[in-house]
C-alpha cells in the first residue's frame, strides 16, 4: 500500500441545520480529531467527515444521511463517502471498478455515533463506534404540563434557530396533515416568525389528497378552528402517481412503511413543486411519533416493556451491537429519516423537523414513561396529544386542536392506500431487482473495467 496518498473520497460536503454550540467547520474538525466531547456539547443537525493519519472518522445526526463503501485499488483501500448508494456506485463506475460494487456492502453511519475506520488494507477492520449523545432517561416531571412545556420549548428553540438561517423573504412550506405534530409545527413556526419580527404568513401549509383519505377534511377543520384557512392548500394528486417502486429507488431502502410514506411524500412534494417552482424550504413533524413512542404495538412484535426498556428504540433501533442491527442500514429513525430527506432532495427542498433534534429527543426521554403509563398501552396512545397540546399552549398561548392519529400515507389515501399495502419481502425484491439492472452494466463483458491489481491504474481525483 502506497503511503502519502489521499484515500478518502468525500462526496458528501459538510452539512448543518439548526446547529448550536459549534459551526459546521468546527463539527468537521471535531470529527477529524475524534473529539466526542465537542460533538456532545452541540445541538442541531450535522454530518461531518475527516481523516487523521490512517483513521477516517464520520459523524452524523438523524437529519442527514451518510454512507460509505470500501473500494479496492492498487493504491490501497479507498473509503468513499456519500449520502446515497447510487452516488457511491457512480464513482466506482467512473473509476472503472463498478464491478466491485454491491449496495449491500455499503454502510450507513448510525446517528449519534462517531464512527472510526482504519484504512489498513485486507482484511478491513470493523468500524469502532463512540456515542456523542447520552441523554438522561426518565428523570423529568411526570406532570403533563411540565413535561409538555419542556418538550415543546426545546422544539421551539430548535425551530427558531432553523428559521433564523432562512433568508428573510423566502416562503416556507409546511407538510400538514392536521395531526398533532404537523399542527404543532405550524403554530410554533408562526409564533417564532412573529417573535423574530418576520411575517408569519410566509408559512404555507400543504395537505396531500390522493382520494379517499381523511387528512384533507381533518386539515380543513383544524385551519378553520385556528383561523388559518388563508394559508392552507390541498394538493390533489391522482392515485396512479403513488409509485412504490419509484419510492424504493429514491430512498434506496425496502422497509415497507418507509417506502409507503416516501411514496406519499413524493406525491406531495411533486405537487408543491409544480405549483411553486422556486419554493425551497420545508418544515414537517417527522420524529414526533418516535419521541413520544406513539406507534401501535399491535402492528409489530414489540411489547410495551420492550419499548420502555429500550429508550432510544424508535430513534436508533435495537443498537449497533444487537442481533437485529443491519450492517447496511442503521436502525430506527436514524435509518428511516431518509423517507423524508430523499424525497425532499429529489424535489429541491431543504427539509427540517424540530422533533429530530437531540435536545428535543432528550426532553422526551426525560419523561418518566413507566410512571406516567403505569403499564397501560391505552394511556400510551393518548399521551402524545396531551403532552404536545400542553406544550404548545405553554409556548404560544394557543389551545391546539387535536385530531386522531393516522399514518401519513393512510391519511392521504384511505381505503385506496390500504389496497396498496405491501410486504417487506416484496419491497426487498424490488430493491434487489433495481440494483441487478444497474449492476448488469458494470458486469457487461464489453464494459471497460480495471482490476485492483493494475499497477498503471491512475489515482482518483481528490
Q: Report in angstroms the alpha-carbon separations of 107 from 65, 66, 306.
A: 11, 9, 26
What fold does the segment set 8-133 form as a domain? 3.60.20
Residues facing 48 on adjacent strands: 59
pLDDT of residue 5: 54
How much of the chain, in percent, has pLDDT values that exceed 70? 95
pLDDT of residue 258: 95
Domain 8-133 identical in fold to domain 144-427: no
pLDDT digits (tens, 9 = 90+) for 171-202: 999 999 999 999 999 999 999 999 999 999 99
Alpha carbons 440 and 443: distance in angstroms, whole number: 5
Alpha carbons 309 and 299: distance in angstroms, whole number: 19
pLDDT digits (tens, 9 = 90+) for 368-397: 999 999 999 999 999 999 999 999 999 999
Domain spans of the chain? 8-133, 144-427
Please check whether residue 49 is in contact with residue 57, taking contact to mean a CB–CB distance below 8 angstroms: yes
- The residue with cell 492498487 is 74
- For domain 144-427, the CATH superfamily is HUPs (3.40.50.620)
pLDDT of residue 72: 87
Q: What is the largest CA-CA distance in the chain?
A: 71
**All cell numbers assigned to 10:** 468525500
Please check whether residue 307 is in contact with residue 407, taking contact to mean a CB–CB distance below 8 angstroms: no
**All cell numbers assigned to 80:** 468513499
Which residues make Cβ contacts (< 8 Å) with residue 300, sequence separation at least 6?
none
Alpha carbons 49 and 29: distance in angstroms, whole number: 9
Q: Burial of 70 by CB count in 10 Å (0-12 exposed, 13-18 middle, 19+ buried)?
A: middle
For the CA atoms of 31, 36, 37, 42, the dihedral, rounded to the nearest 10 degrees, stands at 60
List the one residue out of 215, 323, 197 whose CA is nearest residue 268. 215
pLDDT of residue 452: 63
- Divide the 462 residues of the chain into consecutive groups of 10 and give the mean pLDDT of each group: 68 94 96 97 97 94 97 84 97 92 97 94 86 97 98 98 95 96 98 96 96 90 97 95 96 96 96 97 97 90 92 95 91 97 98 98 98 94 96 97 82 71 93 96 78 62 60
pLDDT of residue 227: 97
Alpha carbons 47 and 58: distance in angstroms, whole number: 8
Amino acid at each position: 500500500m502506497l503511503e502519502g496518498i489521499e484515500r478518502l473520497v468525500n462526496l458528501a460536503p459538510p452539512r448543518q441545520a439548526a446547529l448550536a454550540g459549534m459551526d459546521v467547520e468546527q463539527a468537521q474538525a471535531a470529527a477529524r480529531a475524534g473529539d466526542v466531547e465537542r460533538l456532545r456539547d452541540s445541538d442541531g443537525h450535522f454530518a461531518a467527515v475527516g481523516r487523521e493519519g490512517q483513521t477516517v472518522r464520520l459523524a452524523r445526526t438523524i437529519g442527514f444521511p451518510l454512507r460509505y463503501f470500501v473500494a479496492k485499488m492498487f493504491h490501497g483501500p479507498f473509503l468513499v463517502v456519500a449520502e446515497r448508494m447510487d452516488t457511491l456506485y457512480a464513482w466506482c463506475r467512473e473509476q472503472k471498478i463498478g464491478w466491485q460494487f454491491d449496495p449491500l456492502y455499503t454502510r450507513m453511519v448510525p446517528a449519534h455515533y462517531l464512527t472510526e475506520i482504519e484504512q489498513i488494507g485486507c482484511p478491513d477492520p470493523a468500524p469502532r463506534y463512540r456515542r456523542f449523545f447520552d441523554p438522561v432517561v426518565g428523570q423529568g416531571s411526570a406532570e403533563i404540563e411540565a413535561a409538555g412545556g419542556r418538550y415543546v420549548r426545546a422544539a421551539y428553540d430548535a425551530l427558531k434557530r432553523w428559521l433564523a438561517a432562512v433568508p428573510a423573504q423566502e416562503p416556507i412550506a409546511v407538510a400538514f396533515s392536521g395531526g398533532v405534530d404537523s399542527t404543532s409545527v405550524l403554530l410554533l413556526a408562526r409564533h417564532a416568525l412573529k417573535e423574530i419580527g418576520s411575517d408569519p404568513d410566509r408559512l404555507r401549509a400543504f395537505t396531500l389528497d390522493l382520494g379517499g383519505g381523511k387528512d384533507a377534511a381533518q386539515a380543513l377543520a383544524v385551519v378553520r378552528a385556528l383561523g388559518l384557512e388563508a394559508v392552507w392548500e390541498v394538493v390533489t394528486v391522482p392515485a396512479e402517481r403513488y409509485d412504490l417502486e419509484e419510492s424504493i429507488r429514491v430512498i434506496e431502502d425496502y422497509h415497507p412503511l418507509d417506502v409507503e410514506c416516501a411514496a406519499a411524500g413524493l406525491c406531495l412534494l411533486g405537487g408543491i413543486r409544480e405549483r411553486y417552482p422556486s419554493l425551497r424550504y420545508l418544515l414537517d413533524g417527522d420524529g414526533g411519533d418516535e419521541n413520544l413512542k406513539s406507534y401501535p404495538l399491535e402492528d409489530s412484535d414489540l411489547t410495551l416493556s420492550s419499548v420502555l426498556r429500550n429508550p432510544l428504540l424508535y430513534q436508533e433501533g435495537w443498537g449497533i451491537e444487537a442481533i437485529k442491527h443491519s450492517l447496511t442500514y442503521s436502525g430506527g429513525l436514524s435509518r428511516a429519516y431518509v423517507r423524508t430527506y430523499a424525497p425532499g432532495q429529489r424535489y429541491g427542498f431543504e427539509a427540517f423537523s424540530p422533533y429530530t433534534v437531540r435536545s428535543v429527543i432528550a426532553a422526551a426521554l426525560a419523561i418518566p414513561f413507566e410512571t406516567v403509563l403505569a403499564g397501560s398501552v391505552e394511556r400510551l396512545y393518548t399521551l402524545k396529544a396531551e403532552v404536545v397540546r400542553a406544550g404548545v399552549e405553554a409556548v404560544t398561548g394557543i389551545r391546539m386542536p387535536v385530531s386522531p392519529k393516522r399514518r401519513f400515507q393512510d391519511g392521504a389515501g384511505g381505503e385506496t392506500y390500504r389496497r396498496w399495502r405491501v410486504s417487506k419481502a416484496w419491497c426487498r425484491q424490488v430493491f434487489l431487482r433495481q440494483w441487478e439492472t444497474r449492476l448488469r452494466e458494470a458486469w457487461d463483458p464489453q464494459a471497460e473495467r480495471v482490476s485492483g491489481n493494475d499497477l498503471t491504474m491512475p489515482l482518483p481525483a481528490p
